[in-house]
Amino acid sequence: MPYRPSLLWLIPELPYEVFEARGLLGQHIMVVPERELVVVFASRAENGAIPVSLLAEYILPAVQSSDPLPPNPEAQAELQALLEELATCSDPGCPGR
């Protein structure tokens, strides 16, 4: 039977209301509505406390503003070119294959 997470956790010890979905072997999705922030961890760590510690100690303090980032057309064009390249890559060595 495949693993199916079924709970959404509320993490009370953080300075903001944080909801967390936990997956298998260290996969976490954390949502901080007040900061309009979504944090995703895709790791193989079996200790579920590590992502919460990283969020509390490093990520939340680093979020300085609720304002959106300014437009960056050069980076957007670079990202779009990379996505198009990846979408057409048939080599088994391509990222994501």
Task: Flag whether pLDDT at 80 surpasses 70.
Answer: yes
Question: Is position 59 within any domain?
Answer: yes
Please answer whether residues 31 and 19 qualify as being in contact, where contact means their C-beta atoms are separated by less than 8 angstroms.
yes
For the chain, helix, strand, coil in percent to 5 are: 35, 20, 45
Where does the pLDDT of residue 1 fall: very low under 50, low under 70, confident under 90, or very high at 90 and above? very low
Question: Is position 26 within any domain?
Answer: yes
The pLDDT assigned to 10 comes to 85
- The predicted model gives 78-97 an average pLDDT of 80
Of the listed ranges 9-23, 26-40, 41-55, 70-84, the least confidently predicted one is 41-55
Question: Is position 77 within any domain?
Answer: no
Question: Is position 88 within any domain?
Answer: no
Question: Is position 10 within any domain?
Answer: yes
The pLDDT assigned to 95 comes to 64
Please tell me the pTM assigned to this model: 0.61
Cα(18)–Cα(66) distance, rounded to whole angstroms?
Answer: 16
Q: Which domain holds residue 56?
A: 1-65
Number of domains within the chain: 1
